[in-house]
Structure 1
């Protein structure tokens, strides 16, 4: 059993380390070997916390499989989703590199697997591998740009524009099912509302309006985009 777990860990972590889109792909063979010996895997069921707001980061967390929402709790316990993560993406790294506690929580929205690298080992690689340092800087810069754009979206756009932008964001993040129309993530109406900075009732109402206009179709939690051009136009007009 232990041997099987070790093989499973090696396969999962190996995919994370050698994936072309992973920052770890720029490590040298010896650095990859050291990383493989020290990286840890964790498995989370849908709805489980990967980390919580206020906790100290345990290391650099990479999502190997599954989907994760990162959110802050606001007034009255209402959530505001600030990010959605997909493989091979990093979560919680802002607090880690700032040496601060987490300012948001991360929850698996489907069964997920993470790989974690200790802060000490990451610092060692950053100091000795300039390519890794540049990759991390680019990732942080990209995330900052995304956060700035989301701030504008959530504060300046009207309800229809915010919801349209959220649907496009989910499409761009997770892609489509095989039909090239159904967004490949199934969120509750509450999560869609929390992503769009609106009440759940407003999200339900606006989704129904989009459906009646032929922009989307809804089947439970499945959302199919029927008119991509119009949805994009609603998002841009706000």
Structure 2
């Protein structure tokens, strides 16, 4: 069952959660207290929906612990995984800033803790703290880059190009995620992902093993596979 706790009602040792989020790491005790007054901590179990596509974006969501996925529903009732975020991270702040409904849904991949901060009071704090505004802009820039890479992968002409682009853009993901999760991220089946990895290995483009992960042997050959 979902739990909800107002930040200023948390035990003192939990109030340090703000310091774990880069955008808040420079705040003074007074500023942290101001955040606490407008923030709510929510605990989500694995599989719980944090917000749905089309919901009003009245809050900023700061992922303190855990991992979440952002996904869209397609006309065929399937879901397209757009991105995954690990703590600490801001989630869906673009929609909140623009005051438009969330363009995608958010689900907890595992047990997660999220700090929700009401939009209008937080924007007032931004006006009085230029460094906080700069940190938010930096986060937005990173999100835009991540979205561009995600769109590039989904627009790839074939499965091989999708896998090759992911290796090019984020080779470490093959150590962080399971094969079935990577396949879901790319919109292909686990079997197709396995075939593409085997093909890249046979052509001497990569090395891959469960023990050692994935290593790139030829950037030039990989780029030719990116389409």
Q: How far does residue 207 in structure 1 lie from its aligned partner after superposition?
A: 4.3
Check conservation: 2:68, 2:86, Cα contact below 8 A: yes
1:216 — aligned with what?
Answer: 208
Structure 2: distance between partners of 1:235 and 1:63: 34
Match of 2:155, SS?
helix
Q: Count the aligned residue pairs.
A: 216
**Residue 57 (structure 1) aligned with residue 45 (structure 2):** no
Could you state the TM-score of these two structures normalised by the residue count of structure 1? 0.76
**Residue 227 (structure 1) aligned with residue 215 (structure 2):** yes
> Which digits, 9 at most, give the CA deviation of each residue in 1:89-120, with x for residues without a partner?
01121111111111111111122111111112
1:112 — aligned with what?
Answer: 112
Q: How far does residue 86 in structure 1 lie from its aligned partner after superposition?
A: 0.9
Q: How far does residue 200 in structure 1 lie from its aligned partner after superposition?
A: 5.0
Give ranges in structure 1 of 5+ residues lacking alignment: 174-181
> Which structure features the higher share of helix residues?
1
2:76 — aligned with what?
Answer: 76
Q: How far does residue 72 in structure 1 lie from its aligned partner after superposition?
A: 0.8
Q: Which runs of 4+ in 1 moved over 4 A?
A: 167-173, 207-214, 232-235
**Residue 14 (structure 1) aligned with residue 2 (structure 2):** no
Within the candidate set 192, 200, 203, 2:193 is matched to: 203
1:183 — aligned with what?
Answer: 175
Give ranges in structure 2 of 5+ residues lacking alignment: none
Q: How far does residue 49 in structure 1 lie from its aligned partner after superposition?
A: 1.1
Check conservation: 2:63, 2:112, Cα contact below 8 A: yes
Q: CA RMSD in A?
A: 3.0
Q: How far does residue 61 in structure 1 lie from its aligned partner after superposition?
A: 0.7
2:223 — aligned with what?
Answer: 236
Structure 1: distance between partners of 2:170 and 2:46: 18
Match of 2:161, SS?
helix
